[in-house]
Structure formats: structure tokens, C-alpha cells
């Protein structure tokens, strides 16, 4: 009797193991949700570091504005994702140079609210700052996010006066996956052949786009293929969830997402940075900066010596308790003032 009970128990356990392995193999959802939780926990910690540096007054906001009501994915309720926040100096009555920021999160997580303190800091210096949400994977696959963000740009142009936006003084910005998305949109705006390839009509014209701010981004997606260990597994799962392609090495999305393949000499002036302890800096940020420089694009780069201490991790620019992050903030503000002008210095 005991042998039968033991055999049945082992059979059930074995069956559960097989089912679990199959689920993780045939769908990105289980692994993506695990990674998402890790990113969300990290984002909360980073937000807590930024919070003491945010202004306690002098910035007004309009939160959770819906910029799209439909989705290209029939199972996705667009209103759950397609919202934006707007920040501007208290008492603003004019249209200001505007920073449109796309959050990171490995294309499968993140929220505009995570970076609110940073947006408030930028707004306090005389800018309108917009934080964008978008539908990420696996809820929706590429290129849904690109088209949604383009919708957001059109919405902001249509409501420029209401939100104190100068439509001729726009800077696109982003961090991590958000940097990739912002760079891709900038390439679509300035490269008509690329826009034609994606069948996308950019909302912003090259004349309106005065610059891009790129932090810790990915610009050559093939650099993520074949990495070992937990980071390599995370990259594979995130890209599977976002692109919808299990074999990411043969996914056509990877080539389109690789902005380094689509930039021209018309790409806007660029601020680009990455930490010395972030693998993406050597594999993506520095090669992308070099490519832009070779095309004659105006580049402001902030990189750090290999032996800089403390080592600067991915998304170091948000850890405002670090001297390097404060330097990055000041460099970003200098770039913004040069490109779109600060109301506080006019």
C-alpha cells in the first residue's frame, strides 16, 4: 500500500514538473512575470532614492491623461497602458521647451510613475516634462509600443497649448528600453525610408525634434543574443515576450529595433550616457555614440573610466545619491538648455 502511495505521489510530482517545464518552454508569460517583479522591486528602490531630491513645491502636474483609446492588440485594453503625466513650473502661462520621456523596464515592465521625482526635478528647471506609458510585452508584441508612442506624440501636439508645450522645441528622452524606443522613434522621424519600412507616419517632424536624451540604452539588439547566465536568460525571455518570437536570433523585429542600423546624418543632437559597470555601455552606448559621430551628428557623451568608483550600474543616472548621477543630471540640464532653452534662464 505504501509503495502504491509513494508511486502515485512521485508520478504526480513528475507530472507537475513536466507541465511546469512545458509552460515555461512554450510561453514567455511565466518567466516574464518573474522578471517583471524583479524590475518592479528595483524600480521602487530607485524611486525611493530619487524622492528626497524632488522639489517640494513649484511644480504642477496633470496625471494619468489618456492619449489613446484603442489598441492594435484585440485582447489588450489600451486604456490600461496608454496614459501620460505632464509636469511644468507652477504658474506657467506660456508654452515651454518640452521633454517627452519613455520609461525603461526591459520592454516588459515599468511605469511613468517610477520616474516622477526625476520629471519634477527637470520641470522645476523651466521645462514641460511628459512621462509616457505604453503597452509592453507579453501583453502586446512589437511594434505596438512604437505606434502607441507615436500616437502619444500626436496627442501632445494636438494639445500643446493646454499642456504648455512648445511644439517646435521637443526633446525625446528615455532610459534603458525607453532609450531604445526613443532612439527608434527619432530614427523614424529623421529617416523616411525607415518610416516607410515600418509603415509609420511620424507625428513629429524633424524640425520640431531638437534633440534626444539617451541613458543606458540598447541600440544593437544582436548584442543581447547568446549571453550566458541569469542576465542572458533574462534578455532572451524579455525579447521573446516583447517580439513574440521564440527564436529571437531570426526575429525581424531585432533588426528594426536596432537603431544603429537606421540612423542618418539627420538624426537629432544627442546626449548619451551609461555607467562603467553596465555591460550595455561598452556593447551599445559607446558604439552608438561612435556611429552618430561618424555621421556628423552633434553628440554630448558622458561615459566613465573603467576604474571609476563606486562602479556605476545600469540606470545609474537615477541614483541621485551618487556624485556621478548628479553630474549626469547637470549635464542633461545643460544639454536641454542648449537645445530647447530653459524658461528659468530666459
pLDDT(16) > 90: no
**Banded pLDDT at 4 (limits 50, 70, 90):** low
pLDDT of residue 343: 74
pLDDT of residue 78: 57
More confident residue, 14 or 183: 183
pLDDT(226) > 90: no
pLDDT(23) > 50: no
Cross-strand bridge partners of residue 213: 173, 271
Cα distance between residue 195 and residue 150, in whole Å: 12
Cα distance between residue 344 and residue 340, in whole Å: 12
pLDDT of residue 80: 74
| Farthest CA pair distance, the chain | 87
More confident residue, 77 or 229: 229
pLDDT of residue 272: 99
> If you count DSSP H runs as helices and E runs as strands, how many of each does the chain have, helices first?
11, 8
pLDDT(170) > 50: yes
> Mapping DSSP to helix (H, G, I), strand (E, B) and coil, where does residue 316 land?
helix
Tens digit of each residue's pLDDT (9 = 90 or more) over 195-208: 999 999 999 999 99
Cα distance between residue 263 and residue 116, in whole Å: 30
- Cell numbers for 318: 537615477
More confident residue, 344 or 134: 134
pLDDT(94) > 50: yes
Cα distance between residue 300 and residue 210, in whole Å: 14
Tens digit of each residue's pLDDT (9 = 90 or more) over 139-165: 999 999 999 999 999 999 999 999 999
Overall average pLDDT of the 284-303 stretch? 98
Amino acid at each position: 500500500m505504501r509503495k502504491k502511495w509513494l508511486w502515485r505521489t512521485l508520478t504526480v510530482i513528475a507530472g507537475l514538473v513536466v507541465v511546469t517545464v512545458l509552460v515555461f518552454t512554450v510561453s514567455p508569460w511565466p518567466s516574464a512575470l518573474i522578471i517583471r517583479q524583479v524590475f518592479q522591486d528595483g524600480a521602487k528602490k530607485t524611486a525611493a532614492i530619487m524622492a528626497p531630491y524632488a522639489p517640494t513645491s513649484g511644480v504642477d502636474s496633470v496625471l494619468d491623461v489618456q492619449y489613446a483609446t484603442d489598441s492594435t492588440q484585440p485582447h489588450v485594453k489600451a486604456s490600461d497602458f496608454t496614459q501620460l503625466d505632464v509636469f511644468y513650473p507652477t504658474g506657467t502661462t506660456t508654452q515651454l521647451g518640452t521633454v517627452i520621456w519613455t520609461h525603461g523596464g526591459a520592454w516588459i515592465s515599468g511605469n511613468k510613475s517610477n520616474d516622477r521625482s526625476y520629471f519634477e526635478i527637470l520641470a522645476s528647471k523651466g521645462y514641460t516634462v511628459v512621462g509616457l506609458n505604453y503597452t509592453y510585452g507579453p501583453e502586446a508584441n512589437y511594434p505596438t509600443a512604437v505606434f502607441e508612442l507615436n500616437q502619444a506624440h500626436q496627442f501632445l501636439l494636438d494639445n500643446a497649448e493646454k499642456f504648455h508645450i512648445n511644439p517646435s522645441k521637443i526633446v525625446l528622452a528615455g532610459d534603458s528600453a525607453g532609450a531604445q524606443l526613443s532612439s527608434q522613434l527619432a530614427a523614424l522621424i529623421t529617416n523616411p525610408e525607415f518610416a516607410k519600412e515600418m509603415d509609420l507616419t511620424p507625428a513629429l517632424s524633424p524640425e520640431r525634434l531638437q534633440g534626444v536624451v539617451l541613458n543606458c540604452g540598447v541600440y544593437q539588439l544582436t548584442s543581447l543574443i547568446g549571453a550566458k547566465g541569469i542576465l542572458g536568460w533574462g534578455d532572451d525571455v524579455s525579447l521573446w515576450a516583447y517580439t513574440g518570437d521564440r527564436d529571437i536570433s531570426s526575429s525581424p523585429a531585432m533588426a528594426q529595433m536596432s537603431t544603429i542600423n537606421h540612423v542618418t546624418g539627420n538624426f537629432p543632437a544627442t546626449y548619451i550616457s551609461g555607467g562603467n559597470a553596465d555591460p550595455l555601455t561598452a556593447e551599445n552606448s559607446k558604439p552608438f555614440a561612435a556611429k552618430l559621430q561618424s555621421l556628423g551628428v552633434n553628440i554630448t557623451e558622458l561615459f566613465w573610466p573603467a576604474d571609476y568608483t563606486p562602479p556605476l550600474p545600469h540606470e545609474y543616472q537615477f541614483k541621485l545619491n551618487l556624485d556621478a548621477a548628479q553630474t549626469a543630471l547637470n549635464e542633461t540640464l545643460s544639454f536641454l538648455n542648449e537645445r530647447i532653452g530653459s524658461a528659468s534662464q530666459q
